[in-house]
Structure 1
Amino acid sequence: MKKILLILLGCSVYIVDAQVGNENVSYSPGTFFMRANRPTTKEYVIEGSPYTTGDKFNKVIIKGFSKDVQDLRYNAYEDEMEFKKDDELFYTNKEDNVKIQFPDIGKIYESLTYTYDGKTKSGYLVLLVDSPKFSLYKREKVELLKGEKSTNSFTKDANDYYAKDKDLYLITKDKKFFKFPKNSADAAEVFSVDKKELDSFVKFNKINFSKEPDMIKLVEFVNK
């Protein structure tokens, strides 16, 4: 499997190839850092970036793992953690409840198998609030969109490109996942709290149900 990140004229483009491997490259109590299979993909140029942690690999802290683990980055398009070994690119294997802390960028990702909207998915969520009562997660997503064909012979066709999709915010209640409430009435029902008390908190703190810092503040309030 070959390196997929190239920099061309200041724009990020990606050329993807594949390889199968099974060599353990770092100590862990499971198989998290076993070299995982990569999907075989036809080589072609894609503009933009699928990474929400930045294109470079970052130091991480994983509880129960060796301190000297591989640097990682999160590929939101593939919903995979990537690491590099000997200039080859691999995915980590998903292991439930593994929390990956990125100290330099202030993010914690948790690998989970979860059910939302009637569908069960195994993937990574950003952990925003960790609590036995209500936890708050963010699902990051990047889409691959088709480039447009040129309408004349003087311009080139546009390449396919990565585009950041809207983040999905989820809360856990009794081990079930729900979309973050859109207003005070929904929040009072989901969090099973007194609506008048919640309305007072929302009004006093000017809570915006679509802003992440306010979402965190609200969940921390109902957890008290």
Structure 2
Amino acid sequence: MLTLDQISLRFPDGDSTITALDEVSLTAHPGTVTAITGPSGSGKSSLLAVAATLIRPTSGRVAIDGIDVTGLSRDEATALRRERIGIVFQQSNLLPALTAVEQLCVTNELGGRGRRSTRRETAARAVELLNAVGLGEHLEKRPHQLSGGQRQRVNIARALMNNPSVLLVDEPTSALDQARGEQIIQLILELTDRLNTATLLVTHDLVHLPHLHREVNLVDGQIKTRQLV
């Protein structure tokens, strides 16, 4: 579970201060997808960065699985991020020389929950996830051999490699047409339910909202929450 409690984030701007987030509180529950919407500059990226422990808030508390992560050192936050948080970036950022399976196996080398897996176990986990995202026939293909939607599926599978309890997804459909975007949203919903992750999904595409569980609309760093299902 992910909890943000009274989160504020302020940046100096010359003689003034910009408030990116203004006492934002929300909870993302396991097995649910919460959409983060709002106009450009409303604080969506800041919210995701704070949830990912990439930025420390000015005030407030972030908790993941009941662990208060707000005061962790940089090294401690990095270790927690590798073990408990999966991040799906807007761009897939896949390594050009690596196959789909290898993209996921590299993630395991950076850390994971519990004991370190053997190479055979790591490869088996990678194949399992790539099958789960519909890429069972593309395991040995490199990024240039995959479509945009397929690269995004590798991106999602890679984020799940270390069994995260929190999944943070940034504009996963921005580079896709509506049909492929719909497939990606359905895939995220299915995996969230199957793996019981607490998922935050930043999106500008409101057509997907009816499929999600809850909407958090950000305007000038403040939120309005709406239950969708």
Same fold (TM over 0.5): no
The structure carrying a bigger strand percent of its residues is 1
Into which bin does the TM-score normalised by the smaller protein fall? under 0.3
**TM score, norm. by length of structure 1:** 0.27
Bigger-Rg structure (1/2)? 1
For CA contacts below 8 A with separation 6 or more, give which structure has more relative contact order: 2
